[in-house]
Amino acid sequence: MNPSSTVATAGGKTDLPKRFHHVGIVGKFQTAGSHEDIFNLATFLVSLGIDVSLERETALNTGITDFSTIDVDVIGEQCDLAVVVGGDGTLLGVGRRLAKHGVPMIGVNQGRVGFITDIALTDYREVLPPMLSGAYEHEVRGMMQAQVWRDNHCVFEASALNDVVVNRGSTTGMIELRIEVNGHFVANQRSDGLIIASPTGSTAYAMSVGGPIVHPSVAGWVVAPIAPHTLSNRPIVLPFECEVSVELVRGLEANVNFDMQSLTSLIKGDRIKVCAAEQGLRLLHPQGWSYFDTLRKKLHWNEGNP
């Protein structure tokens, strides 16, 4: 694949710069050693002739005062690239806010798994320079937009890159959900909950309940029940363009969360509507990056083989 090329995905495709000039850095400042890691990365980028700004909360919580500080939305407006230092959760949180601006993101992995933060912290000095000069793989990950409707009013709205999850909360009994797709009744389901996952989220919670791994270039959603009462209720893959509606028919203390990072409580009769977001999340990977290499490494496939 050529530099600045695009992997066609559910979110669309757009040409990007062949060289980046202003980089915003967002870090997981709760991690031990974050101050040193973020400071060293920023200093390294400056040595390459790049203007660097730190996200305001990152700077405040690490005590780094050597660089300009800006809010996340200002990164979207002023920077041509965001570099996220942390794990997938950090990138998910920032990515939902930056997606609307179309700013590409690079993930530098401080965590353990890192399906979308795919550059090891120990490797960025070798990996980043060619990427910043235009030698990268570009893909757009489709995102979801979800609303909670109550008495014909939208009472909550959020976006998600991984998944939208309806679950029973802390109660011991199952909940009952009515599921519709594009206005067509699919099923009434008794279970512990339901996961609506993007291809990106297919390797997260959905995978733990038996859902399939979906390649990120596939334009579709995974709808997977959590511990269903009827074992014939199986995960299903739906088209990217459809709207999934989930109504809480019965259940106490049920809730819905978005990427496990924002949450709202549900009451009987609430309806969650999930559809494709207008913008996708733009990710940059090193040249030669392969999704299958990521799966093999992170899921420990073929361990012990040459």
Q: Which residues are identified as catalytic?
A: 88
Q: Which residue has the tokens 């915003």?
A: 24
Would you tell me the crossing angle of helices 34-47 and 124-132 to the nearest 10 degrees? 40
What angle (nearest 5°) sits at the alpha carbon of residue 216, between those of residues 210 and 217?
A: 130
Residue spans of beta strands (DSSP E) within 72-120: 81-86, 105-109, 119-120
Q: Answer for the pair 156, 148: CB distance below 8 angstroms, yes or no.
A: yes
- Rounded CA-CA distance 156/143 in Å is 17
Residue among 95, 93, 203, 73 nearest 139 (CA)? 95
Q: Answer for the pair 140, 179: CB distance below 8 angstroms, yes or no.
A: no
For the chain, what is the radius of gyration of the CA atoms?
A: 20
Dmax over CA atoms of the chain, in Å, equals 60
| Tokens encoding 158 | 């959020």
Question: What are the backbone dihedrals phi and psi of residue 206, each rounded to the nearest 5 degrees, phi first?
Answer: -60, -35
Q: Which residue has the tokens 């991690």?
A: 31
